[in-house]
């Protein structure tokens, strides 16, 4: 018992006046009844409401049976009497309560006492211990209830009851039921939460994956943090097995931090990173440059929107802090009419703005296999190409997975065997040596500057023979033929040594001659088969014939000296039915009568305006352009493809932001969806001009073969790329940096490529085509 105290005496005075517990007169706990002589029990409204409730099936906990089990009672008063009897045995309420006189409020202010002194606490604790004698722990009660609810007998009873109620309800619905509402009993499986939780991935495995991803982007900061966490995990596991280390987590983080020259702050950071990676499976976001500790113009909503709009129309990778600084100072601030005096943003501020807006400075990588894949026109072309190319799959050879033996297709009499032929060009340089070499003591070998002289190789490959070249037996058969039927070549490959003073340059005429030679060699090697020639999207491959219908080459008015174009047939979708299917010449006849309005241009080119007038389209163009003839070529159609994409993107951003596009932006938005913006666009949309094919495609299709062009940015679909890689690896190893050696090695190694790598290249390309 603690010694009496002055505050304890004041508490006794306060109790004798009938005022307890912060002058409220309320007993907070039952244990106070044994201490406060002025306590009078009064039932609360909630207690009275509980007693007034009447339900046939009420559940209560019995306090008589040591709180061991729950029982169903129907007489609430009987249970209440048991409850009263139980507590009367513990306390003598009559003795404690004293007289039943009303509490008397003090007439003067008494010292406030919170009843938190040591003496009061000791008395309350003693009374609570006395009251709890003979009671069972509440933890024991819930453990028994949980064991009872998960026992097989209880679960079986619940399942049987659920099936019985479900069958009864189904029979009730089948009989028609009635309009009354019935309570629905929902039973839950008490063992549903006992299923095993999924095994979490170890943090060490997650860190390894993050390290491999960070290496792709060469992020030094992320790699340093991840390697520190990796070392921390390994050292922590070792410390945990050592009983002499009292705090393995902290000691491991401090050791790793000291090993890289850091202190306690970095040790705490390692532990935080470990916890973050464990919960979120990634590194925390970088907040550098994103704080708002200082006022910035970027907080201005108008400036922020203008900067975002400018960044959206600049190609990815072309923006620099200097360009952003100039645009903000010269265009945005003055365009918004902001009066900032002579204050402008600096280049460092522009750099901070780029970081806040999500940009980061990264090392530029070659985007040969990545850039442009997501462009809408590329995606649509790729889908159409694969759909068309794979539609003839059953007409081609298939190969076994074990030894790549060809399996011929099953053809009906009207079908022909289809054989894909892939073409590509590559350049071998005489000074292109191995990129990685073994050195000692850091002494790098001296090499010549530049790549050296080039060797240009243009070749075809097929699945059956590898390269498109005749075998020895086919060569002997060809030589035995009469001179009129004999082929002067046996190999479709072309090798030149480009240069002004050497073999010249690889021109479209040389390429067309090689394709014609390859067609004849293919027909000799695979008679009665259809060759599927596949090329990439090179500008030389898309060149048109000299007399092709190209609207861009025509003048607006008659005369001039444009290229000669062949005659055409007016399409059947022409608005004037009387002119559908008529032959139309691109030149005026030389025997025009003198009264003809274009007599002065006899024998000369007609021009776009006259061609459209003869087709009956000029009046339609006038009607859609306010009675005026549209220009021969609008600004949008005259610009390059890159400029068109930029202008169209800028116009779409302006329209999406609710702003009205002005000037060239409005023209770009109109020209991208209209076919009447200018004479050139109207003529290009005619069916005969749209159906104009490249010269390469015309030559192949005229020989009863097929011609395909691979989608842009999809060189991986061409199996010959792996053939070039196989060759270049061996050329670099054997070359000594001289042109004579390279000139000797390139044909020799190209000819030594076995059939198996070519077959594997086709298998890999086929798998890529199916997964593209």
pLDDT at 464: 82
Report which secondary-structure segment, H or E, holds 646.
helix 641-656
Pick from 350, 305, 302: nearest CA to 327:
350
pLDDT at 643: 66
Q: Quick one: pLDDT band at residue 207, thresholds 50, 70, 90?
A: very high
The values of phi and psi at residue 757, to 5°, are: -60, -35
Q: What is the pLDDT of residues 80-116, one digit of tens each?
A: 455 456 545 544 544 444 444 444 444 444 455 556 6
Task: Decide: 530 and 704 in contact? Cβ < 8 Å.
Answer: yes
Provide the percentage of residues in the chain whose pLDDT is more than 70. Answer: 66
- Check pLDDT > 70 for residue 767: no
Report which secondary-structure segment, H or E, holds 399.
strand 398-399
Helix (H, G, I), strand (E, B) or coil at 72: strand
pLDDT at 76: 46
Q: What is the pLDDT of residues 277-336, one digit of tens each?
A: 999 988 888 776 555 556 778 888 888 888 888 888 887 777 888 889 988 888 888 888
Q: How far is CA 75 from CA 82, 233, 701, in A?
A: 11, 64, 99
Q: What is the pLDDT of residues 444-474, one digit of tens each?
A: 777 777 788 899 999 999 988 888 999 999 9
Position with higher pLDDT, 223 vs 653: 223
**Mode of pairing for the β-strands spanning 398-399 and 583-584:** unpaired
Least confident of 12-21, 135-144, 483-492: 12-21
Secondary structure (DSSP) of 548-599:
---GGGS-SSS-S-------EE--TT-S-GGGTT-EE-SB--TT--TTSTTG
Is the pTM value of this prediction over 0.75?
no
Task: Decide: 712 and 381 in contact? Cβ < 8 Å.
Answer: yes
Count of H helices and E strands in the chain? 29, 12
Pick from 125, 104, 100, 92: nearest CA to 16:
104
- Check pLDDT > 70 for residue 675: yes
Residues 6+ apart with CB under 8 A from 476: none
User: What CA–CA distance (Å, rounded) separates 710 from 532?
Assistant: 12
User: What CA–CA distance (Å, rounded) separates 275 from 262?
Assistant: 20
Provide the percentage of residues in the chain whose pLDDT is more than 90. Answer: 17
Task: Decide: 468 and 521 in contact? Cβ < 8 Å.
Answer: yes
Per-domain residue ranges of the chain: 6-142, 160-192, 203-280, 297-356, 416-439+447-542+696-771, 551-690
241 is written with which tokens? 């097995």
pLDDT at 163: 57
- Check pLDDT > 50 for residue 405: yes
CATH of segment(s) 416-439+447-542+696-771: 3.30.420.10
User: What CA–CA distance (Å, rounded) separates 261 from 224?
Assistant: 12
Q: What is the pLDDT of residues 324-354, one digit of tens each?
A: 998 888 888 888 877 777 778 888 889 888 8
Q: Quick one: pLDDT band at residue 531, thresholds 50, 70, 90?
A: very high
**Mode of pairing for the β-strands spanning 568-569 and 406-407:** unpaired
Q: How far is CA 61 from CA 66, 80, 81, 376, in A?
A: 10, 11, 14, 70
- Check pLDDT > 50 for residue 71: no
Average pLDDT over residues 403-432: 87
DSSP 61: E
Pick from 561, 558, 689: nearest CA to 632:
558
User: What CA–CA distance (Å, rounded) separates 69 from 62?
Assistant: 7
Q: How far is CA 170 from CA 158, 187, 248, in A?
A: 18, 16, 63
- From the number of C-beta atoms within 10 Å of its C-beta (0-12, 13-18, 19+), residue 723 rates as buried
Q: Quick one: pLDDT band at residue 220, thresholds 50, 70, 90?
A: confident
**Mode of pairing for the β-strands spanning 568-569 and 454-462:** unpaired
Least confident of 342-346, 543-547, 696-700: 342-346
Number of Cβ atoms within 10 Å of the Cβ of 224: 14
State the chain's maximal CA–CA distance in angstroms.
Answer: 141
Pick from 763, 772, 753: nearest CA to 463:
763
- Check pLDDT > 80 for residue 194: no
- Check pLDDT > 90 for residue 406: no
């Amino acid at each position: 018992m603690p010694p009496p105290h002055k505050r304890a005496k004041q508490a006794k005075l306060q109790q004798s006046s009938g005022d307890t517990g912060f002058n409220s007169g309320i007993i907070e706990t039952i244990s106070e009844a044994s201490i406060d002589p002025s306590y009078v029990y009064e039932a609360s409204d909630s207690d009275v409401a509980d007693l007034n409730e009447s339900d046939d099936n009420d559940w209560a906990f019995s306090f008589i049976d040591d709180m061991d089990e729950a029982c169903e009672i129907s007489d609430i008063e009987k249970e209440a009497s048991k409850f009263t009897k139980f507590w009367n045995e513990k306390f003598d309420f009559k003795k404690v309560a004293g007289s039943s006189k009303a509490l008397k409020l003090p007439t003067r202010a008494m010292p406030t006492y919170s009843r938190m002194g040591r003496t009061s606490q000791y008395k309350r604790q003693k009374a609570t211990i006395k009251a709890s004698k003979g009671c069972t722990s509440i933890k024991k009660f819930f453990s028994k209830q949980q064991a009872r609810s998960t026992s097989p007998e209880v679960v079986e009873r619940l399942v049987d009851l659920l099936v019985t109620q479900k069958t009864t309800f189904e029979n009730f619905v089948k009989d028609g039921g009635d309009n009354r509402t019935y309570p629905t009993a929902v039973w839950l499986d008490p063992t549903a939460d006992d299923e095993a939780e999924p095994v979490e991935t170890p943090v060490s495995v997650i860190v390894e994956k993050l390290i491999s991803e960070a290496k792709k982007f060469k992020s030094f900061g992320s790699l340093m943090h991840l390697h520190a966490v990796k070392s921390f995990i390994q050292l922590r596991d070792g410390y945990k097995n050592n009983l002499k280390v009292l705090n393995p987590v902290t000691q491991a983080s401090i050791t790793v931090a000291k090993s890289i020259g850091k202190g306690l702050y970095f040790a705490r950071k390692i532990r935080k990173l470990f916890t973050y990676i464990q919960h979120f499976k990634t590194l925390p976001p970088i907040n550098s440059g994103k704080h708002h500790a200082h006022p910035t113009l970027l907080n201005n909503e108008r400036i922020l929107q203008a900067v975002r709009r400018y960044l959206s129309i600049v190609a990815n990778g072309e923006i620099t802090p200097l360009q952003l600084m100039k645009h903000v100072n010269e265009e945005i601030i003055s365009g918004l009419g902001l009066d900032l005096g002579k204050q402008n943003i600096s280049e460092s501020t522009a750099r901070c703005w780029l970081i806040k807006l999500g940009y980061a400075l990264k090392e530029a990588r070659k985007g040969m296999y990545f850039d442009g894949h997501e462009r809408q026109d590329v995606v649509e072309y790729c889908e159409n190409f694969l759909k068309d190319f794979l539609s003839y799959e059953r007409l081609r050879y298939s190969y076994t997975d074990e030894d790549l033996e060809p399996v011929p297709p099953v053809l009906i009499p009207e079908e022909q065997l289809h054989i894909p032929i892939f073409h590509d060009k590559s350049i071998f340089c005489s000074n292109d040596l191995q990129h990685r070499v073994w050195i000692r003591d850091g002494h790098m070998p001296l090499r010549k500057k530049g790549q050296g002289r080039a060797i240009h190789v243009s070749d075809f490959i097929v699945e059956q023979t590898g390269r498109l070249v005749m075998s020895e037996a086919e060569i002997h058969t060809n030589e035995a033929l009469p001179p009129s039927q004999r082929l002067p070549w046996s190999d479709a490959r072309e090798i030149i040594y480009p240069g002004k003073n050497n073999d010249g340059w690889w021109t479209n005429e040389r390429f067309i001659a090689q394709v014609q030679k390859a067609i004849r060699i293919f027909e000799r090697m695979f008679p009665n088969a259809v060759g599927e020639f596949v090329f990439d999207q090179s500008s030389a491959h898309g060149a048109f014939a000299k007399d092709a219908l190209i609207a861009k080459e025509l003048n607006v008015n008659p005369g001039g000296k444009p290229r000669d174009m062949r005659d055409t047939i007016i399409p059947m979708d022409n608005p004037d039915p009387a002119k559908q299917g008529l032959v139309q010449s691109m030149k005026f006849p030389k025997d025009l009568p003198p009264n003809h309005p274009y007599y002065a241009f006899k024998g000369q080119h007609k021009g776009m305006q006259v061609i459209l007038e003869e087709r009956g389209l000029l009046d339609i163009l006038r009607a859609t352009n306010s009675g005026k003839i549209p220009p021969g070529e609008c600004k949008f159609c005259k610009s390059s493809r890159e400029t068109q994409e930029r202008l169209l993107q800028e116009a779409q951003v302006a329209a999406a932001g609710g702003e009205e596009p002005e000037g060239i932006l409005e023209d770009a938005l109109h020209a991208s969806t209209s076919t009447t913006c200018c004479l050139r666009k109207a003529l290009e949309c005619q069916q005969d001009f749209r159906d104009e094919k490249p010269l390469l495609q015309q030559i192949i299709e005229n020989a009863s073969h097929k011609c395909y062009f691979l989608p842009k940015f999809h060189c991986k679909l061409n199996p010959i790329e792996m053939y070039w890689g196989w060759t270049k690896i061996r050329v670099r190893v054997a070359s000594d940096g001289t042109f004579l050696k390279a000139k000797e090695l390139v044909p020799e190694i190209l000819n030594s490529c076995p059939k198996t790598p070519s077959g594997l290249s086709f298998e890999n390309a086929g798998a890529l085509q199916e997964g593209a």
